[in-house]
Amino acid sequence: MPLLPGAEPFRRDGGEVGVLVCHGFTGSPQSIRPWAEYLADRGLSVSAPLLPGHGTRWEDMQLTTWQDWYAEVDRELRALTERCTKVFVCGLSMGGALALRLAARHGDAISGVAVVNPGNRVHDAAAPLLPVLRHVVRTTKGIASDIAKPGAVEVGYDRVPLHAAHSLRRFFALVDSELPRVTQPLLVLTSRQDHVVPPVDSERILSRVSSGDVRHEVLEHSYHVATLDHDAERIFQDTYSFITRLAPEARPDEVQEGTAASGGA
């Protein structure tokens, strides 16, 4: 099945600090590609995989579950840890939940977590009916392109398959139960106005993680897909600053300064 334009996975090898960037439910790497490219352009090794069932047509997603989506990011994380000395995980929306579960399960193998409008539950009033409703109704309206910036468009499905939505709901509950196991430094960026994932999800996550190093930023000018919205550049800069604070070796200038200092000793 051909991929939607822009839905291709993104990978670029760089230095010894790696970053895994996870896209959201019914979306594709297109929504987080500028984020991934910004980090890669600064010398980081970056991977932004395409989740199974995404980036083609909603009928393909109907056949997948959270186990498939999580397995894909888990494989990418393991590949990054094989070639990098430090690895960070980032995510948008459901991608944020995927990143948090990776952090909960992989512990010290992950040096930090940065999430944008992370999902924690399905808020639709019909969500409790999904176990039954999914056998009666195949899809509901899509959630893509919740963006304030004029002309910005997210490559995603215009329909949400209910089998997948039911699996997402179960996944969110699982991740919520595992949040106390998240101990890594955490950066959470939350849009004040979001028509897909309300700010209460970020608040819930912040209240349950065990991280001692936590920073929460509010995005005033963006909706849900903030990585394509007015605050995108701020997200990219804050993420890079977060990573280089924890992994100073990721800054090329500091590496050069360290080398010069060693040579002059």
Spatial contact of 229 and 222, defined as CB atoms under 8 Å apart: yes
Spatial contact of 91 and 116, defined as CB atoms under 8 Å apart: yes
Active site residue 194: yes
Instruction: Catalytic residue, from 54, 224, 230, 231: name it.
Output: 224
Active site residue 23: no
Active site residue 135: no
Give Cα 46 to chain centroid, integer Å: 13
Tokens read off for 197 = 């994932």
Instruction: Catalytic residue, from 28, 45, 93, 211: name it.
Output: 93
Question: Which residues, 6 or more positions from 84, have their beta carbon under 8 angstroms from its beta carbon?
Answer: 16, 17, 18, 45
Question: Which residues, 6 or more positions from 145, have their beta carbon under 8 angstroms from its beta carbon?
Answer: 152, 153, 154, 156, 225
Instruction: Catalytic residue, from 31, 47, 194, 229: name it.
Output: 194
Q: Mind telling me the catalytic residues?
A: 93, 194, 224
